[in-house]
Chain A
Amino acid sequence: KQEVTQIPAALSVPEGENLVLNCSFTDSAIYNLQWFRQDPGKGLTSLLLIQSSQREQTSGRLNASLDKSSGRSTLYIAASQPGDSATYLCAVLVNAGNMLTFGGGTRLMVKP
């Protein structure tokens, strides 16, 4: 059974700092990996999707990498801002039909 782990569970940084969130998964047979953002009391917003054949994806200040063989992904956030404060979730697609397996999330707080 696929298991997804995110470390750390919570992170507090000063504004302007570059930071890395980690995600690991136990089974490398995935179709893709996605990073989501969740604000308190809200739904999930997709940030980046990395296909299994890709190594990284970038969107603005965000960069996500994928190393399937080692079962790891990282989300790099450059020049963090207070507006980046949220919970970040990674999820892997384990079958083509729609089954996402989620990690427990990293709760990020960026202090002004």
Chain B
Amino acid sequence: NAGVTQTPKFQVLKTGQSMTLQCAQDMNHEYMSWYRQDPGMGLRLIHYSVGAGITDQGEVPNGYNVSRSTTEDFPLRLLSAAPSQTSVYFCASSYYPVTDTQYFGPGTRLTVL
């Protein structure tokens, strides 16, 4: 199993550009989520999904969009990048979060100029 994979590893954008961060898992997990990690703020939940076709907002959803068309993939879209979105983004997945551990991807480091 590859586990949770994220692409790209690094990305630099200009203000106003859009892009999609990719996340995929091969463990047949229903639950997937996106977090951002910022110095002094810790990890904060952006969006999450409890299964294909079902998504919901987390703590900091503004400026981000998600969809879940398959069990394996959960892309995160930045609609119009802003410097405040400079961060490290982590994708996570779990079979059933109440009883099972969450597996995190290696992260995408995004810089918005």
Contact = CB atoms under 8 A, between A and B. Distances in A.
Given A43-B104, A44-B104, A96 B90 contact: no
Interface residues of A, number: 25
A99 B4 CA distance: 18
B101 interface: yes
Interface stretch (B13-21, B42-50, B64-72, B76-84): B42-50
A105 B45 contact: no
Interface residues of B, number: 30
B75 interface: no
Contact of B31 (A41, A44, A51, A97): A97
A110 interface: no
Nearest to B3: A43
B45 A46 contact: no
A49 interface: yes
A67 B57 CA distance: 29
